[in-house]
A and B are shown apart, each in its own frame.
Chain A
């Protein structure tokens, strides 16, 4: 049952490391490209949506809010929203879909901007919640002060438990990292494009066992814009609308990274299961996937969450070549965040849309018409199914 909402345009700035380019310039570039993609003008945009809103919780994590972007781009909006507490980094897309489906707006500019690469310092590392603050509250006050400071620690202990239960090894995660790097070599926009061998992957320094350097995504500076349009308005755009077939936002976990009863599963499992209840499509109908890869271990967990293989089967599914170049279910074909850079899920959705429009160049998946996207790790998750009719 398709929602009355579609993605009609995507745009990404020239992302990079240490660009020292202000976030707003990245955002303006991404917005320009998204409008060009959709065949829309600035005055067609009547809504704006982001995650999480302007925030300085960790350096460069979210330098722009909806107000500044409205002002900078001269938008006159009928509807706006910034959601720090929704279904993952996908929240602004899901909320925008509901807004256009209920007539709040016609074309919504959804954005994500980050300057984590330029903003981090020795004392304030990127993605360390509350870094540099004296006292912490909330769920991460039980982790960060205990020196479980980084999401690589949290993902690391999930991976360790998964390895223990199902016999996964670093080589399996190495197939995720090297496979995505092979995709990135076919994507001129990816930040990491030099070849990555299994030997180099295994030889890289350990970050938080069993996760090494190439199991972690890359902080970047950049912005991405996704235009969500009402179904009837989408017909006026330049490209075939990508209908939002179904979305999932269910959460079964406590809001933290160590208490979920089975840490070989994530919030992803809750949100994906709920998504499939809302559609007649099945995993076998999916042609291309964008799965959150803040850490490599999230990819097998998302594959299982989405039902592409059973619980504990992802290591074999990956080893059989299903998700890399030429695979039946190609994942993160732009290189993902591991090789393309951390745009907090927006980059993964950008790539799925690019594939569904047949614009992915050398890495194009032939005839891709249905895409699945899952964002978030740990307790945070949002799932979406897109189709080009």
Chain B
């Protein structure tokens, strides 16, 4: 069974934004710094004015790996994991599974768009090719 993240004041917006179909990223409302993983304090200016904003949900593959090892009894393999640099959130990468694509077709520089996998109260971002 896939382990789930514990939902907290810091991260609930990130993990549940998919319910509305949007990828939510934490930003500092004072200095506009994008913060990921989300925190309650801005690491740049120490402001506590951290708010979540929707981002376009697109980005570019910075790197990836194709996982061939089944780490749990019910884990289907192979699948690709992509580390994607987000559009609209400078410096932030979101790592997620790649779906609707041949795992071996994933490449650095490829454009991706987000979708969501809902399990219980969590909406996992997943990447699929933008074109």
Contacts and interface: CB of A to CB of B under 8 A. Distances in A.
Nearest to A162: B63
Interface string B89-131: 0011101110000000000100000000000001011000000
Contacts of A150: 67, 69, 71
Contacts of A16: none
B2 A145 contact: yes
Contacts of B97: 146-147
B37 A256 contact: yes
Interface stretch (B17-25, B48-56, B75-83): B75-83
At the interface, is chain A mostly helix, strand, loop or mixed?
Answer: loop
A209 B5 contact: no
A309 interface: no
A206 interface: yes
B37 A139 contact: yes
A342 B131 CA distance: 43
Residue of A144, A156, A160 contacting most chain B CB atoms (<10 Å): A160
Given A128-B71, A256-B37, A147 B2 contact: yes
B93 A141 contact: no
A136 B3 contact: yes
A314 B92 CA distance: 28
A263 B4 contact: no
A144 B37 CA distance: 14
Given A123-B73, A142-B37, A143-B95, A130 B3 contact: yes
Given A122-B73, A147-B81, A141 B63 contact: no
Nearest to A150: B71
A161 interface: yes
Interface residues of A, number: 43
A208 B66 contact: yes
Contacts, number: 110
Contact of A137 (B8, B66, B69, B96): B8
B62 A161 contact: yes
A207 interface: yes
A208 B66 CA distance: 5
A134 interface: yes
A160 B63 contact: yes
Nearest to B65: A156
B72 interface: yes
A206 B95 contact: no
Interface in A108-157: 122-123, 125, 128, 130-131, 133-137, 139, 141-150, 152-153, 156-157
Nearest to B119: A145
Contact of B5 (A122, A135, A157, A208): A135
A263 B63 contact: yes
A158 interface: yes
Contact of A258 (B72, B93, B122): B93
A158 B5 contact: no
B81 to A, nearest CB: 5
B33 interface: no
A206 B68 contact: yes
B115 to A, nearest CB: 13
Given A139-B37, A208-B65, A145 B95 contact: no
Given A157-B63, A164-B108, A209-B65, A135 B3 contact: yes
A344 to B, nearest CB: 20
11 contacts: A130-B3, A133-B3, A135-B5, A141-B11, A145-B3, A146-B81, A146-B125, A159-B65, A161-B62, A211-B65, A258-B83
Top 6 closest pairs, chain A to chain B, by CB: A156-B65, A161-B63, A141-B5, A135-B6, A209-B66, A157-B63
